[in-house]
Structure formats: structure tokens, C-alpha cells
Amino acid sequence: MKRKTKINNVLLFIITFYFNTVLSQETPVSWTIISNDSILIYNAQIEKDWHLYATYMPNPNDGPLPTLFEYTPTKNYLLNDSTIQENPITHFDDDFGVEVSYYEDNALFKQKIKITTENRFLINGKISYMCCNDVTCIPLEKEFEIIINPD
């Protein structure tokens, strides 16, 4: 009986730890995603003392993870060029040992698309990004869905 109680206590601890970790995970960036004609606009609001890394990094194979936009392909649209980003802050980061590019407070990204249908459709995708403060870095993902109404 004692062994069964011990196992139950260990399982309860693991389950409690898991849910506390998952449910309390910080999300220091909130995203607003809209479409304006043939442009997808991603606005990131970044909490104080945090920063979000740029899409185009000075050392893409070293350092923190860049912000990446992935799209589920459909016949309704094509990506037109690459993601456009505002000018980030760039400096040498002692912790990563390389130059990094990032944003504080807010960031704006844009993606031009070519619409290939006259019907209303959805664009689905995912944003993968990393946020850091003076203590920790958190890799995160945000799934999105945008309704497009061609004119």
C-alpha cells in the first residue's frame, strides 16, 4: 500500500509541475495580424525589459533564433518576395558572442502576397520566435489564421 501511495504522489507531483510550467509560461509578445490589400501585417507588442529577435540576423547560423513566418501553401495566393522588417537594433551580444538584431517595445513585419483567386479564403501559418530578457530566453510559436477578401 505504501508503494502505491508513493507512486501516486510522484505522479501527482509530475502532473502538477507540468501544468504549472505550461500554464504559467510567459508570453512577453502579443501579436496583432491583419491584411491590407495584398499585404499581411504582423505587429508585435513586446513587454518591457524583453526583446524579440529580427527575421534577418547578422549571424543567422549563430546566436538566438530569428523570427520566422511559415505559411500553409494553397492555390489561392503566392508569397511575393520575402518578409519585410523594420530596422532593428543591432549590437554585439556578449552572451551569444555574436552581433544580434532585435526589437524592443514593438516590431512590425510585412509580407506581400499575390492573390490568385476571386473568392474569399484563409491563410494559415505559424510564427516561430525567441524572446529574451536579462535572465532568460524563451522560444515560442504562434499559429495564425487570416481571412482574405479579394476585391
Taken in order of first residue, the domains within the chain and their CATH numbers are 27-148 (2.60.40.1250)
Tell me the per-residue pLDDT of 101-132, one tens digit each, with 9 for 90 and over.
Answer: 999 999 999 999 999 999 999 999 999 999 99
d(CA 81, CA 16): 46
Tell me the per-residue pLDDT of 69-95, one tens digit each, with 9 for 90 and over.
Answer: 999 999 999 999 999 999 999 999 998
Output the CA–CA distances (angstroms, integers) from residue 49 to 6, 13, 16, 75, 140, in the order listed: 42, 32, 29, 41, 17
This prediction has a pTM of 0.81
Total number of residues shown for the chain: 151
